[in-house]
A and B are shown apart, each in its own frame.
Chain A
Amino acid sequence: MTTHTLSVLVENKPGVLSHVAGLFSRRAFNIASLAVGPTSDEKVSRITIVVDGDTTPVEQVMKQLDKLVRVLKVVELYRGTAVERELALIKVHAEPGHRGQLLEVVQVFGATVVDMSPSTLILEAVSSPGKLDALLAMLDSYGTSEIVRTGRIALGRGPAAITDQHRAGEQAAGEQRADEQPAA
């Protein structure tokens, strides 16, 4: 799946999230993930939306988002010029015979063990989406019983902030898209 990462600054007012989410269903745009949280300005929230670029015209998404009255700013972030992270909690089967091997995998991927029972571990992994996918693939053979992921969050690299950036879609056109690069 080709994806695009959009950072959306919105007014922190009731109903804003439903306006944003409603737009996606109304226009038949597909969301791969959505993460929302406060910013340093209490009046402003930041939503990071990952859009399925195979089925959804990302320029239309940005323009339609921009038209929502409570949306302050819409910027596309690219992997080459942004840091992307996702948090996952993974409950994985860890029979005593496999546990050592499993902990090696955990170490290689920089994950941490946050809970342990006789037959399972809960791992916490914070990483780029590609690396997280690789970890999950590795854990597959041990058997995972529950996974929860936060959805992607992202920040542009360097001193520039979203509030003083111009429309990134125009600026960064021609730059390599995040998904065109191999997993980090």
Chain B
Amino acid sequence: MDMTGAQALVRSLEEQGVEVVFGLPGGTILPTYDPLLSSSLRHILVRHEQGAGHAAEGYAWATGKPGVCMATSGPGATNLVTALSDAYMDSVPMVAVTGQVGTKMIGTDAFQEADITGITLPITKHNEIVTEVERIPAAVAEAFHIATTGRPGPVLIDVPKDIQQGRGDVSWPATMDLPGYKVPGPPSGEAIAAAAALLRQARRPVLYVGGGVIKSNSHEELLRLAELAQAPVVTTLMARGAFPDSHRLALGMPGMHGTYPAVAALQEADLLVALGSRFDDRVTGSLPHFAPHARIVHADIDPAEIGKNRQPDVAILGDLRATLVGLTASLDAEIAEAGPLDTRDWLATVNNWKRQFPLRYSQADGGPLKPQYVVERLSALTGGNAIVVAGVGQHQMHASQHYSFTKPRSWINSGGAGTMGFAVPAAMGAQVGRPGELVVAIDGDGCFQMTAQELATCAIEGLPIKVLIFNNGFLGMVRQWQELFYDERYSQVELGQAIPDYVKLAEAYGCYGLRCDSADQVDEVLEKALAATDVPAVVDFRVHDREGVFPMVPAGQPNDQIVLGPEFSADEQRAAARRTVLQTKR
């Protein structure tokens, strides 16, 4: 049918089942904003395009569906760059649509011209500048297909203004033409059998679970495998919630700020079954010293992850859910033949570690408020049922460590990219995707000030997110590194707790503003904030400015150098370093 490129673009988004677009119009995307007005799409007008990008990410994390954002050319498009990079690092399915100057103006340094496909080349799974009206339906269909299949990721479509304005003959359903796009098929039965055999023989197995378990919606299959294998489970920062923290096989998060049991279990394991995880440096520490005794089974949908950082003994390429189902069945058959795995000594060992070296902090009566205490109370008051969103830094680690996650898609954060300012707009996107559910952003004062303007969007759009600012007046994680590694020389990290006045700021944005600076008020303030359902609520938690995040493996060090922190005695630290593994009798 004959229509304009703009109409074709909007119709293509509708054809993809898009419900909501986060965006902000401008010169070169104006033609598309006109048919948008009369479409079925809900558009959420953000205050900054970065907010649109992170909101699309938050929506995708929370729902599993691709998030969509839209911006104009030049600065509008470049403001999406941080969010695209973030989505690329964390494999978040997302489609960004940008306006571009007219095709005849491209290359002339026209007003608001930026080579956004060039700029985003290394941070998108794919991008394309569309130069024909007739190409629009296929370009959009391909973008969604690429963003959501295989290892998900962001795709950008750049549409010059004259292509939006021009007319063409377009039709649906669109025919995709992607001869070079390869999505791995079902996992190999041979590889699965080999992995099951290794698992059957293992005495000290660990399931090393990454974000792929959540993305493939295979948490139930994971639970079955873990219980059948009687293997302890570590969930990376990207996988928090993939396995219930309350489960007796759960060891929590591994890595730089992981729990001692999770870190030690990886170091002592004789078999790691890596499930949708990528041996990231924040997990492995010094790579040559990581899990030195372990054989590796690596299951992933992305062939390039296999062998990138650690060479596996068995590689399983393909959909993780199919892998987990196959692995469980195969292991079940092995057990029927050779009897169950005996991991009792191993579980006794890790349980000892759990008892001896738990996450520890101290909240003194009348003493300074500890961020960990606030997270623990939030966890208790919400029964682990909130959708928790974090930015990047100390508050993020405290949230990941101390919130007891019960289900997938209840933890949303910036993992790989480490994007400060992620939390407020991502929480907004999550709330749009899951209306009626409790969405709580835990944010640092540094992070919060980077994207706080989206509170206006939330207030106007009726998105009652809760924002808990852990206000320590510092760029806390940077301060912690300066304390530990730069001789306590604090360079440019003090923000001050008083400016801005977060309560007044919240009120100015039409939100409910609260403040809390002592432990005995935490429950009352949290309850008030959580009860606000009409407008967003912002709580200024004045937390202790010297509190660090522990345990900690200093960057690039072997994981065996894990520092338990000031809450542990020198004797305990020595005991942790000389840990013993119960010997398994064969």
Q: Which residues of A contact B (CB under 8 A)?
A: 10-11, 14-15, 18-19, 22-23, 25-26, 59-60, 63-64, 66-73
Contacts and interface: CB of A to CB of B under 8 A. Distances in A.
B122 A69 contact: no
B307 A69 contact: no
Given A15-B129, A19-B121, A59 B181 contact: no
Contacts of A64: 304
Given A11-B179, A72-B180, A22 B122 contact: yes
B1 interface: no
B377 interface: no
A69 B304 contact: no
A18 B307 contact: no
B126 A60 contact: no
Contacts of B104: none
Given A59-B307, A64-B304, A18 B118 contact: yes
B178 interface: yes
B180 A69 contact: yes
B180 A63 contact: no
A44 to B, nearest CB: 9
Given A60-B308, A66-B303, A71 B180 contact: yes
B180 A22 contact: no
A70 B180 contact: yes
B115 to A, nearest CB: 10
Contacts of A19: 121
A130 to B, nearest CB: 31
A22 B182 contact: no
B180 A11 contact: yes
Given A15-B128, A26-B121, A59-B307, 11 more contacts: A10-B180, A14-B131, A18-B121, A22-B121, A22-B122, A60-B304, A66-B182, A66-B303, A66-B304, A68-B180, A69-B181
B478 to A, nearest CB: 26
Nearest to B308: A60
Given A11-B179, A15-B129, A72-B180, A67 B121 contact: no
Contacts of B126: 69
Contacts of A14: 129, 131
B71 to A, nearest CB: 20
Nearest to A68: B180
Nearest to B118: A18
Select the residue from B125, B128, B180, B304 with max chain A CB neighbours within 10 A. Answer: B180
Contacts of A11: 179-180
Interface string B299-327: 00011100110000000000000000000
A72 B303 contact: no
B171 interface: no
Contacts of B122: 22-23, 25-26
24 contacts: A11-B179, A14-B129, A15-B117, A15-B128, A15-B129, A18-B118, A22-B122, A23-B122, A26-B121, A26-B122, A59-B307, A60-B307, A64-B304, A66-B182, A66-B304, A67-B182, A67-B302, A67-B303, A67-B304, A69-B126, A69-B146, A69-B178, A69-B180, A69-B181
Interface string B126-161: 101101000000000000001000000000000000
